[in-house]
Each structure stands twice: as C-alpha cells, then as structure tokens.
Structure 1
Amino acid sequence: MDAQLLAFVAVAAGMVALPGADFAVVVRNSLESRRSGLATAVGVAGGLVVHTTLAVAGLAAVLVTMPALFRTVQLLGGVYVLYLGLSGLHAVRRRSAQAAPRPETGGEVAPRAGRSLRQGFLTNALNPKAPVLFLSLLPQFVPDGTPPLPRTLLLASVVVLLALLWFPAVALLVDRLGPWLRRPRAARVVEGGSGAALTALGLVLVTGPLLH
C-alpha cells in the first residue's frame, strides 16, 4: 500500500474541507436552490483543475517568481471575493426590506445555475494562495525514483476528486436543511455570516501584504 499516497489523501482532504471562500460561496448559493449549490460546487472543482494543472505543468512557479504578476492575481481575487461578500450583505438588507421569498423554480433557475457555476469557478481560480500551496505540496509526495509527471497527475486528480465529493455534499446538506435554513431569520443569519466572511477575506487579500 502506498503510504505516501494515503498521507496525501489525508492532507488534501483537510485542505479541501477547511472553511474558506469556496465553502462560504457554496453555502450561500445552496440557499437559493439545490441546483445553484451543486453548480457552485462543480465550479469550485473546476477552479482546482486550473490550479493543479498549472502546478503539474510547472507554470505556477512562474507566477510565484514574478511578484508583480502574483500581486495582480492576488488583487483580482481579493476584489472578486470582496464583491461577492458585499453582494451577499446587500442581499440580506434587500431580503429584510422586501420580506419576500426567492423564487426557486421557473425560468430563472438556469441563469442562476450558470451564474453559480461561474462564481464557484472564479472564487477558486482567483485564489492567489493556491499556486503556492500546490507547487509546494505536490512534490513532497513524489517518492524518490518515481517519474514526477504521472505521480503529480495522480495527486492532482485526488484533490479534484475530493472537491467533487466534499462541496456537493455541503450543497446537499444545506439543501436538506433548507426548510429551516430558508426561514427568513435563519436565512439572514447564514447569508449575513457568509457575506461577512467573504467581505473579510476579500479585504485581507486586497489590503494585505504580498502573499508568499
């Protein structure tokens, strides 16, 4: 049995499950509908495909060694996460003012699913920490004497597979708890919490120092 692979699965599972911007966006969009939440989860996994592919190809090293380019990605990611957070907080205020439930069926479902897919993808793909993380993590689990390309492809696939298991599970759990979570007061708490978390994360990325 490959002990290093098992160790990587454990590390990657903890990394994927760690609450952050991806988690907050999946939870928030799952309150709209199951389809919206699942679309967001798939989008997050798509963003991980980008990061792991860059790490396998070695292109992430270019990003890390070019501070100006890295800072640009960091700012773009921060601005986008900040936008999502402020939009969530605004939605809470609008919901409180209108006191009207969101439609969950009909012609708006497909556009919302597409929007959610895009939000999940961009939230993850614009995460400036991910290139550094994968570039430093994957090589540690390539045994000596093992061809690096097939091994890193395997490790990258493990990360994406874990994301495809975890985030849809989060979306389904939120949807399962929907009758309670979509009550006006509970929905405001969840949306307000996720909006505040995204806003804080965005501010850290935009105003913080260059990440290393």
Structure 2
Amino acid sequence: MDGQLIAFTGIAAGLVAMPGADFAVVVRNALVSRRAGAVCGLGIAAGLLVHTALAVAGVAAVLVAVPALFHALRLLGGAYVLQLGVRTLWGLRRSAPAPEEATAEAAHPLRQGFVTNVLNPKASLTFLSLLPQFVPASSPALPRTLLLALIVCALALGWFQLVALLVERLGRWLRRPRAARGLQAGTGVALTVLGAALLLEPLPG
C-alpha cells in the first residue's frame, strides 16, 4: 500500500471535514431538504475540482505572485458568503417560511456550494502547497496529481452527503420551532462571521 497516498487521504479528510463556509452552506440547504444539502455538497466537490485543476496548471501560483488578484477574489468570496449569512439571519424575522419560500431558498443549492467553494482562493493555495508533497520524484506528476485531486473530490462528496443525511435524520428534532430557529441562527452567524473575516483580512505584507 502506498504510504504517501494513505497520509494524503488522512490530511485531505481533515481539511474537507474542517468546519467552515462549505459546512455551513451545506447545513443551510439541508435544513430545507436532504436533496438540497446533497446537491450543495456536489457543488462544493465541483469547486474543489476547479481548485485542484488550478493547482495542477500552476494558475494558483499566479495568486501568490499577484496579491491584488488574490485580494479581489477573496473579496468576492467574502461578499458572497456574507450575503448568504445575512439572508439566513433575515429569515429569522418570521416564525416559519412558507412552503414556496423554502423552495426558493433551495432553488440553487448546486450554485451556492460551487460559488462558496470556488471563490475561496485559499483553497487553491492549500492545494498548490499540499499536492507536490505527495508526488514522488519517481512518479509522473500529472497522473499522480489527478489521482490526488480525485481523492479530495471523493472525500468531499462523501462527507457532505453524510452531513445532509445527519441533518435529515435529526429532522424531527430540528423541526421543533426553537431548535430550528437556533440552528438557523447559528448557521447564519457562522456564514456572516466567515464572510466578514474574508472581507476584513488584511493583505499579506
């Protein structure tokens, strides 16, 4: 068994499962329906595929070389995550959304997952620094890197499907008004804080 591959899988699993904007946006959609959460997770996996492709192509290195470009992309990502958080918190103004409103909230879960992930430039930089560490000098770089990219995407697919399933299984408890509002408030605050952090983080000197 390839020891490096096992080590990479463990590290990648930790990165994928780490709570952040991706996790919060999946929970936000899974509160509407399991399908919405699962589709959102698919969008996140697609975003990760873009990041790994950028790392393979070396485009992520441009983000390091051009701080203004990195900053612009981070601002876009922060603004998107922030507006998701504000919309989630704004939904607390009513006791319960009407069915058509809930459907509208989950109308674009794939897009929400994809945009939330792909507008996070730190993901590209993470893969740019991580992937080369697990490509043996004796192995062709491209096939090995593509394999690592597929592992990351598979982990993301599995993890966020599990998150959506857990939210659904807890549905009876989560449907209680107090619990539903508490989770909605927590998700909204998490997205708002994460978005604001991206917007306010200073450029590296």
- Give the TM interval when normalised to the shorter protein: over 0.9
Q: CA deviation at 1:108?
A: 7.4
Percent identity of equivalent pairs: 62
Provide closer, same or farther for how the CA distance between residues 75 and 107 of structure 1 changes in structure 2, counting only shifts above 3 A.
closer
Q: Are 1:188 and 2:181 an aligned pair?
A: yes
User: Would the aligned equivalents of 1:36 and 1:112 in 2 still touch at CA under 8 Å?
Assistant: no
Matched AA of 1:184: P
SS at match of 2:120: coil
CA root-mean-square deviation: 1.8
1:177 corresponds to: 170
- Quick check: 1:39–1:114 contact (8 Å CA) kept in 2? no
1:180 to 1:24, Cα distance in 2 relative to 1, 3 A: same
Is the contact between residue 48 and residue 160 of structure 1 (CA under 8 Å) also seen in structure 2? Answer: yes
Measured in 2, the distance between the counterparts of 1:90 and 1:107 equals 13
Query: Secondary structure of the equivalent of 1:140?
Result: helix
- SS of residue matched to 1:166: helix
1:103-142 deviations in Å (ceiling 9; x for gaps): 2xx8975x65541111111110111211110000000001
| Contact 1:64 1:131 (C-alpha < 8 Å) held by counterparts | no
The match for 2:122 among 120, 129, 134 is 129
1: CA distance between counterparts of 2:98 and 2:183?
A: 15
Q: How far is the alpha carbon of 1:89 from its aligned partner?
A: 0.6
Instruction: Indicate yes or no: 2:172 matched with 1:145.
Output: no
Secondary structure of the equivalent of 1:35? helix
Q: How many aligned residue pairs are there?
A: 205
Contact 2:32 2:102 in 1 (8 A): no
Instruction: After TM superposition, list the pairs within 5 Å mapping 1:76-155 onto structure 2.
Output: 76-94=76-94, 99-103=95-99, 109=103, 113-155=106-148
Structure 2 counterpart of 1:72: 72
**What amino acid maps onto 1:118 in structure 2?**
R
Could you tell me which runs of 5 or more consecutive residues in structure 1 were left unpaired when the two chains were aligned. none
Contact between 1:73 and 1:128, CA under 8 Å: does it hold in 2? yes
1:8 equivalent in structure 2: 8
Indicate how the Cα distance of structure 1 residues 112 and 191 shifts in structure 2: closer, same or farther if over 3 A, else same. Answer: closer
Gaps of 5+ in 2: none
Q: Any runs of at least 4 consecutive aligned residues in structure 1 with deviations exceeding 6 A, and if so which?
A: none
Equivalent residue number for residue 60 of structure 1: 60
CA displacement at 1:21 relative to structure 2: 0.4
AA aligned to 1:125 is V
Find 2:200's aligned residue among 196, 199, 207. 207
How far did 1:154 drift?
A: 0.5
1:32 aligned counterpart, secondary structure: coil
Give the alignment's TM-score, normalised by structure 2: 0.94
